[in-house]
């Protein structure tokens, strides 16, 4: 019995680690760059990256490992080849030691179709267990090795390997074996010593293959209650198990899901059960347990059919701080966001938030010696936007060098015209473009003013023949080397 309690304590240690340290934050992506790659970045909490692994697959293809580049702490990056329209899925894994106990922290491998058994290649590797390290009962088929985990939107999958490649349930008339995948939720396991297990066994009158809730009585006796069915099979020398996620989460003792850490702990366990013929009392001995895995159920995907350049507004410099508001329709972060002055000094603009779809503020310090400067932005290293500014006095702020001016009514009612009055035009192409708040272009106009310095243009506020919906819009004006952006609203 003490061995069972030790195993539960081991799970609790892993779960505490998952609660206290969320290893990866702020997953984000660029658009596809000039080399055909998407840049995936994230922030690490831990500074030790020696064991960190990154895996990705395209569509229903195979998982592949990709090298990780560690940028300035805490940011890491992977560049993945990408074809427009593909669905890209990715995940991370790392091995850790917590108070002397080894465990893996990983994302599960997401499975697109509930086919059983899945291929081991479709699952995420948890870890390896040493040979010959039995707890209380040794037998080769109870000696565990590698384990794997995966999930779909509805199911949890688990696979284990042992020293023999066979998983016999019967040793003799009164001697049986059981193989299980123990699952623990930190919000319930810590509160009432409750765990769950997919158990593969055939102990008539006691345990049959199924999903069980495992508890411990006040007398330290383990209890088993069946709460659902499982799928189980031995294939290619490995035992595959699967259960419905809803069978776990609907149990009153399981706790809320998703939980605080969005994580569950997994380990494989083997047991030998001998039945005393006279009393029919079972004597349970632990064979082995595998490396525990803290599995963070975060589905990481990227899919895009093309690229829309980001929209840059509120570009300004005050008190030697350059800043701009950046918004991208696909939620891409900028691969380039640089402010360069006439001395060649470059300031890399940074942001502390990463909601690029709804927009973030970028900022950096710049030299007080700046006289002329430009901001260059690109989310793909292909399409670059340039915004030029000039200091008109020996002050710590910048004003636009161009004198292009634009006047519009704001707000306007849906169905009415947006009247655009332009002045101080230069010879050259004039382009007007209207974007919605998602960065999608909904209207454009172009022309080539010559001698005229002023011009009036109207937009009927129709989008594909229908009145533009209420919301916030951006009008972008480009004339020769000048550019400006106006924000306005449409209401019903």
Of 358 and 14, which is predicted with more confidence?
Answer: 358
- Is the pLDDT at 376 greater than 90? The verdict is yes
Would you say the CATH fold of 402-492 matches that of 307-400?
A: yes
d(CA 282, CA 270): 15
pLDDT value, residue 277? 66
Please state, in angstroms and as integers, the Cα–Cα distance from residue 261 to each residue in 24, 296, 326, 384, following that order: 12, 8, 30, 39
The closest alpha carbon to 44, from 79, 76, 15, 16, belongs to 76
Domain spans of the chain, in order of start: 2-301, 307-400, 402-492
Q: Is 141 helix (H, G, I), strand (E, B) or coil?
A: helix
Sign of the alpha-carbon torsion through 474, 428, 323, 39 = positive
- Is the pLDDT at 201 greater than 50? The verdict is yes
pLDDT value, residue 222? 65
Distance of CA 207 to the CA centre of its chain: 39
Q: Please state, as a whole number, how many other Cβ atoms lie within 10 Å of the Cβ of residue 220.
A: 11
DSSP state for residue 107 in the 8-state scheme: P
- Are 170 and 192 in contact, with CB atoms under 8 Å apart? no
pLDDT value, residue 379? 97
pLDDT value, residue 5? 42
Of 58 and 491, which is predicted with more confidence?
Answer: 58
d(CA 379, CA 31): 6
> What contacts 451, CB < 8 A, 6 or more positions away?
none
pLDDT value, residue 102? 75
Residue written as tokens 């030998």? Answer: 272
pLDDT value, residue 101? 65
> What contacts 320, CB < 8 A, 6 or more positions away?
365, 366, 367, 368, 396
* Structure tokens belonging to residue 135: 């707890």
pLDDT (average), residues 112-140: 91
CATH of domain 402-492: 2.60.40.2550
Topology of domain 307-400, per CATH? Answer: Immunoglobulin-like (2.60.40)
- Is the pLDDT at 338 greater than 60? The verdict is yes
- Is the pLDDT at 137 greater than 60? The verdict is yes
Helices (H) and strands (E) in the chain — how many of each?
A: 3, 41
pLDDT value, residue 470? 85
pLDDT value, residue 410? 85
d(CA 439, CA 331): 10
pLDDT value, residue 189? 65
pLDDT (average), residues 20-46: 89
In this predicted model, what pLDDT tens digit does every residue of 207-256 receive, in sequence order? 789 999 987 666 555 677 999 999 999 999 999 999 999 999 999 889 88
Give the pLDDT band of residue 103 (cuts 50, 70, 90).
confident
Query: What integer best gives the mean pLDDT of the chain?
Result: 86
**Which of 450-488 are b and which e, b meaning 16 or more Cβ less than 10 Å from the residue's Cβ?**
eeeeeeeeebebeeeeeebeeeebbbbbbbeebbbbbee
In this predicted model, what pLDDT tens digit does every residue of 260-279 receive, in sequence order? 788 999 999 999 988 776 66
- Are 61 and 69 in contact, with CB atoms under 8 Å apart? no
Rounded to two decimals, the pTM is 0.76
- Are 364 and 322 in contact, with CB atoms under 8 Å apart? yes
In this predicted model, what pLDDT tens digit does every residue of 383-396 receive, in sequence order? 999 998 876 544 44
pLDDT (average), residues 284-313: 93
pLDDT value, residue 279? 62
Please state, in angstroms and as integers, the Cα–Cα distance from residue 145 to each residue in 101, 125, 184, 315, 478, following that order: 17, 11, 21, 58, 64
Give the pLDDT band of residue 177 (cuts 50, 70, 90).
very high
């Amino acid at each position: 019995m003490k061995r069972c309690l030790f195993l539960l304590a081991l799970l609790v240690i892993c779960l505490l680690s998952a609660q206290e340290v969320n290893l990866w934050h702020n997953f984000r992506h660029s658009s596809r760059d000039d080399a055909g790659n998407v840049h995936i970045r994230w922030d690490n909490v831990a500074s030790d990256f020696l064991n960190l692994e990154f895996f990705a697959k395209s569509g229903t293809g195979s998982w592949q490992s990709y090298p990780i580049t560690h940028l300035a702490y805490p940011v890491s990056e992977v560049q993945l080849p990408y074809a427009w329209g593909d669905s890209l899925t990715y995940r991370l894994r790392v091995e850790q030691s917590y108070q002397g106990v080894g465990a893996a922290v990983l994302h599960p491998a997401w499975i697109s179709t509930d086919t059983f058994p899945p291929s081991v290649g479709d699952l995420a590797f948890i870890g390896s267990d040493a040979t010959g390290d039995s707890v209380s009962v040794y037998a080769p088929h109870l000696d565990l090795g590698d384990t794997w985990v995966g999930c779909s939107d509805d199911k949890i999958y688990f696979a284990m390997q042992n020293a023999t490649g066979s998983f016999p349930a019967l040793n003799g008339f009164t001697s049986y074996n059981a193989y299980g995948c123990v699952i623990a939720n930190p919000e319930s396991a810590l509160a009432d010593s409750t765990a769950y297990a997919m158990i593969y066994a055939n102990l008539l009158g006691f345990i049959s293959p199924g999903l069980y809730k495992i508890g411990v009585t006040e007398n330290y006796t383990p209890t088993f209650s069946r709460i659902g069915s499982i799928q189980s099979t031995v294939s290619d020398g490995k035992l595959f198990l699967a259960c419905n996620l809803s069978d776990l989460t609907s149990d009153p003792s399981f706790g809320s899901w998703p939980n605080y850490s969005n994580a569950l702990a997994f380990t494989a366990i083997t047991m030998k059960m001998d039945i005393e013929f006279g009393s029919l009392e079972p004597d349970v001995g632990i064979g082995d347990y595998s490396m525990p895995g803290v599995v963070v159920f975060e589905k990481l995907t990227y899919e895009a059919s093309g690229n829309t350049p980001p929209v840059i507004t509120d570009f300004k410099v005050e008190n030697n701080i350059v800043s701009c508001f950046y918004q991208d329709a696909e939620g891409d972060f900028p691969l380039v966001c640089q402010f360069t002055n006439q001395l060649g000094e470059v300031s890399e603009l940074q942001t502390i938030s990463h909601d690029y779809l709804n927009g973030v503020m970028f900022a950096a310090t710049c030299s007080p010696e700046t006289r002329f400067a430009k901001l260059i932005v690109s989310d793909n290293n292909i399409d670059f936007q340039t915004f030029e500014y000039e200091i008109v006095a020996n002050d710590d702020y910048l004003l636009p060098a161009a004198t292009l001016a634009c006047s519009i009514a704001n707000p306007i009612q849906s169905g009415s015209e947006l009247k655009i009055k332009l002045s101080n035009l230069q010879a050259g192409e004039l382009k007007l473009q209207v974007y919605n708040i998602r960065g999608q272009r909904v209207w454009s106009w172009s022309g080539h003013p010559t001698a005229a310095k002023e011009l009036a243009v109207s937009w009927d506020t129709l989008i594909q023949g229908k009145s533009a919906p209420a919301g916030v819009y951006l009008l972008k004006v480009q004339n020769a080397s000048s550019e400006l952006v106006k924000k306005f609203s449409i209401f019903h």
